[in-house]
Amino acid sequence: MHTVDVATPGGLYPIHIAPGRLDALAQVIPANATSIALVTNPTIDALMGERVLKALSGCGIRIVTVMLPDGEAYKNWETLNVIFDAMLGAQLDRRTVVVALGGGVIGDMAGFAAALYMRGVRFVQVPTTLLAQVDSSVGGKTAVNHPLGKNMIGAFYQPIAVEIDTDVLNTLADREMSAGLAEVIKYGLIMDAEFFSWCATHAAGLRERDPELLAIAIRRSCEFKAWVVSKDEREADLRAILNLGHTFGHAIEAGLGYGHWLHGEAVGCGLVMAADLSSELLGFPLQDVERVRELVTAIGCPVMAPKLAGIDQWMSLMQGDKKTEGGAINFVLMPRIGEAIRRTAPAELVARVIERNTV
Ligand code: NAD
Ligand code: GLY
């Protein structure tokens, strides 16, 4: 088993990565917990619910399962209330531990519910998609979407542990694997050129779920993310680099309506657009824009974005991004592969990049 520690001002928590980790979940439930709220959805429940209940029953405390509808379209305040209704209805107290069993949608919502329930109860992330294992379960960003913007309502709230069972990825749809790989290659682009090259060399094997390659990709991604979060938990500055591709990506997701493109697909396409804008603004080499495009294609993500209702809609969606300050859109850009900085960009350059990368 690999353990990666995440150090935050509120304390340290472990990420445990191993095949079969689901069966050991009872180990991370604190001894003074009175009950467990297991938050999941019917898709995941059908695949592993019974096994997880069996593992958690080892704690000898009450387990209340909270079933949410599946999908990004349900990542909203109404669904959050389903969690509160179930927890209050079952009279769960402040020593309850919320266990988020699922992808990023479940993790973000269950984490946000844990942050708010009785002003905060402990929670454990059990990410079951590649995207959640390499990104969303680590670092304490929790949120729901608002019709006017993605993840706009949320809180920083850290889990007490992240339990990654690499075996669960075997049942994941190919499209979801591709979406998760977009967040993996993002780490290479912002932090480590060698890791980017490693991803390019092993793109086919990663897509085919070679267990050894996936174990490396997950561990390295968690290490990158843990390092960034330990330096800047609340995104005062450095953590913003994790949003490479996301300003474009969030516009695609919100513009099409949540759930049409997967989050990771939108991020993958956004990485190409960010590389193109980096080339316009920072002299990022054109051949490296092509390397990014080739790798995003190789992992199975789209590289051309939808036109939406035109440049005006694109601009207005990007203006609404959380990274906008004083009306200027803050992009994460790359001077070169392996390094990221934040920059505002002139509207005409952004418009040119959108024109070139949309169909
Ligand atoms: P998701 O949670 O919607 O899961 C994708 C699909 O896979 C769902 O239908 C789910 O039921 C299914 N699924 C989950 N595990 C499975 C398994 N093992 N086998 C088969 N099917 C399985 O999507 P996601 O890509 O995991 O997460 C996307 C969300 O994560 C977005 O809302 C995004 O905003 C958020 N996110 C958050 C952060 C963060 O730092 N908090 C970072 C990145 C993304
Ligand atoms: N996924 C971006 C972050 O966690 O900051």
Listed range (158-162, 179-183, 202-206, 326-330) with the worst mean pLDDT: 326-330
2 is catalytic: no
Q: Can you give the CATH number for the domain in which 127 is found?
A: 3.40.50.1970
- Please give the helix or strand (H or E) that residue 276 lies within, else none: helix 263-282
Mutate to test the pocket of ligand 2, among 134, 136, 224, 230 (most ligand atoms within 8 A of CB): 136
**What is the C-alpha to C-alpha distance for residues 133 and 253, in angstroms, rounded to an integer?**
21
What is the residue range of 263's domain?
175-356
Do both 138 and 184 map to the same domain? Answer: no
Q: Which ligand is nearest to the CA of 127?
A: 1
**What is the C-alpha to C-alpha distance for residues 314 and 65, in angstroms, rounded to an integer?**
40
- Of 122, 155, 171, the one marking the end of a domain is 171
Q: Is-above-0.95 flag for pTM? A: yes
pLDDT tens for each residue of 144-186: 998 877 899 999 999 999 999 999 999 999 999 999 999 999 9
Q: Which residue has the tokens 């969303």?
A: 136
Structurally, how many domains does the chain consist of?
2
Do both 159 and 266 map to the same domain? Answer: no
pLDDT band at 259 (very low <50, low <70, confident <90, very high): confident
Do both 127 and 231 map to the same domain? Answer: no
CA of 106 to the centre of ligand 1 (A): 7
Do both 205 and 337 map to the same domain? Answer: yes
Do both 180 and 327 map to the same domain? Answer: yes
Q: Can you give the CATH number for the domain in which 206 is found?
A: 1.20.1090.10
Do both 224 and 131 map to the same domain? Answer: no
235 is catalytic: yes
DSSP states along 129-186: SHHIIIIITSS-EEEEEETTEEEEEEEE---SEEEEEGGGGGGS-HHHHHHHHHHHHH
**75, 106 contact by CB (below 8 A):** no
Mutate to test the pocket of ligand 2, among 243, 321, 323, 332 (most ligand atoms within 8 A of CB): 243
pLDDT tens for each residue of 114-139: 999 999 999 999 999 999 999 999 99
The atom of ligand 1 lying closest to the CA of 151 is: 34
- Average pLDDT on 202-221 reads 98
- Of 171, 206, 233, the one marking the end of a domain is 171
- Average pLDDT on 282-288 reads 98
Q: Is the pLDDT of residue 320 over 80?
A: no
Q: Which of 183, 253, 265, 280 is catalytic?
A: 183
